[in-house]
């Protein structure tokens, strides 16, 4: 092994050498290095710290007295930190961002909601038509059912068939005219047939007897009309269901 250098001796003396054990073994085996290190360590051990003059208990007070005049008290940290420029800037930036996002959202919604309203207008109209027609057919069906059950006999029928028929007649004329351009043969035929029956009942001129009703049933085929109306109501019900499903899908 190489002899210890001066730097290695210094490191060894202060126990800061990386290979302390190795240096120790070398010092035990190498007389030359051992003697040099002994002299070196004796010399360093002879260097003592100078005696420090005593400072009494009043020393700290003296130091404090000498400096306290030039010290400015700190302001409480909370107020300072809250109104510091960077934090204020961050808060303002966040507010601006939120406001921007809000207005952008509003404009976007406004821009995209118009077409959907426009496109949903025919659907809405269709749903209203279906609802009104269903109601009309419902009332007509009930009238026809009562008419079919009242047939036969000489007794006068005591329920206001004529008044109800007159009311339904005016509605039916309106619906028939409205439905004509739709080119729906079953609907047009049913409304036409219903109108004739209603005209017959409304314009009979006297209270209807069982015989009169039976005659109307026979001549006007009210049972066939009742069947037609029930078919139409089933179809209308299906269309209403489809319209509702389409509306839910559009909302999603």
Partner 1 sequence: MGNDDYALIRRVLAGEKDAYGLLVAHHSKSLFRVAFRITENEADADEVVQEAFLRGYRKLQDFDSRSNFGTWIYRIAMNCALDVLDKQKSQTVVPIAREYDSELPALQVADRAAGPDRLLLSREIETRRHAAMERLTPIERIAFVMRHMEERSTEEIAGALGIAPNSAKQAVFRAVQKLRQSLAPLWVRS
Nearest to 24 by CA among 12, 35, 16, 36: 12
Residue 50 beta carbon to partner 1: minimum distance, rounded to whole angstroms:
6
77 forms part of the interface with partner 1 (CB under 8 A)? yes
69 forms part of the interface with partner 1 (CB under 8 A)? no
Which segment (19-27, 64-72, 121-129, 210-218) binds partner 1 by CB under 8 A? 64-72
Nearer to partner 1 among residue 15 and residue 183 (C-beta): 15
- Please report the DSSP string for the chain in residue order: -PPPPHHHHHHHHTT--TTHHHHHHHHHH-HHHHHHHHHHHHHHHT-PPPPPPP--TTHHHHHHHHHHTTPPPPPPHHHHHHT-HHHHHHHHHHHHHHHHHHHHHHHHHHHHHHHHHHHHHHHHHHHHHHHHHHHHHHHHHHHHHHHHHT-SSSSBP-S-HHHHHHHHHHHHHHHHHHHGGGT-HHHHHHHHHHHHHHHHHHT--SPPBHHHHHHHHHHHTHHHHHHHHHHHHHHHHHHHHHHHHHHHHHH-
Residue 77 beta carbon to partner 1: minimum distance, rounded to whole angstroms:
6
19 forms part of the interface with partner 1 (CB under 8 A)? no
Residue 7 beta carbon to partner 1: minimum distance, rounded to whole angstroms:
5
CB 208 within 8 A of CB 157: yes
252 forms part of the interface with partner 1 (CB under 8 A)? no
Q: Which of 19, 25, 61, 98 binds partner 1 (CB under 8 A)?
A: 61
Q: Which of 19, 64, 119, 124 binds partner 1 (CB under 8 A)?
A: 64
Question: How many residues sit in the footprint of partner 1 (CB under 8 A)?
Answer: 35
> Alpha-carbon distance 109 to 141, whole Å?
45
Nearer to partner 1 among residue 47 and residue 117 (C-beta): 47
53 forms part of the interface with partner 1 (CB under 8 A)? yes
Residue 48 beta carbon to partner 1: minimum distance, rounded to whole angstroms:
8
Nearer to partner 1 among residue 59 and residue 97 (C-beta): 59
Q: Which of 60, 98, 128, 231 binds partner 1 (CB under 8 A)?
A: 60
Residue 28 beta carbon to partner 1: minimum distance, rounded to whole angstroms:
20
Where on the chain is the footprint of partner 1 (CB under 8 A)? 6-7, 10-11, 14, 16, 39-40, 42-44, 46-50, 52-53, 55, 59-61, 63-64, 66-68, 70-77
């Amino acid at each position: 092994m190489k002899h210890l250098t001066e730097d290695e001796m210094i490191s060894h003396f202060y126990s800061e050498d990386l290979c302390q054990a190795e240096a120790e073994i070398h010092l035990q085996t190498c007389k030359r290095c051992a003697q040099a290190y002994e002299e070196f360590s004796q010399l360093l051990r002879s260097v003592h710290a100078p005696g420090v003059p005593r400072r009494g208990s009043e020393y700290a007070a003296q130091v404090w007295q000498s400096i306290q005049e030039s010290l400015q008290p700190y302001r409480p940290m909370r107020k300072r930190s809250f109104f510091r420029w960077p934090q204020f800037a961050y808060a303002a930036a966040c507010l601006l961002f939120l406001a921007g996002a809000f207005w952008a959202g509003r404009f976007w919604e406004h821009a995209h909601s118009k077409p959907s309203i426009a496109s949903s207008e025919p659907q809405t109209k269709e749903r209203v038509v279906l609802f009104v027609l269903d109601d009309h057919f419902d009332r007509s069906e009930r009238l026809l059912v009562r008419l079919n059950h009242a047939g036969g006999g000489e007794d006068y029928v005591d329920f206001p068939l004529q008044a109800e028929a007159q009311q339904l007649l005016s509605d039916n004329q309106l619906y028939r005219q409205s439905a004509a351009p739709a080119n729906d043969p079953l609907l047009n035929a049913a409304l036409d047939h219903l109108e004739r029956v209603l005209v017959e009942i409304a314009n009979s001129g006297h209270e209807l007897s069982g015989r009169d009703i039976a005659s109307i049933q026979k001549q006007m085929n009210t049972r066939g009309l009742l069947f037609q109306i029930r078919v139409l109501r089933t179809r209308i019900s299906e269309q209403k269901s489809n319209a509702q499903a389409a509306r839910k899908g559009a909302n999603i």
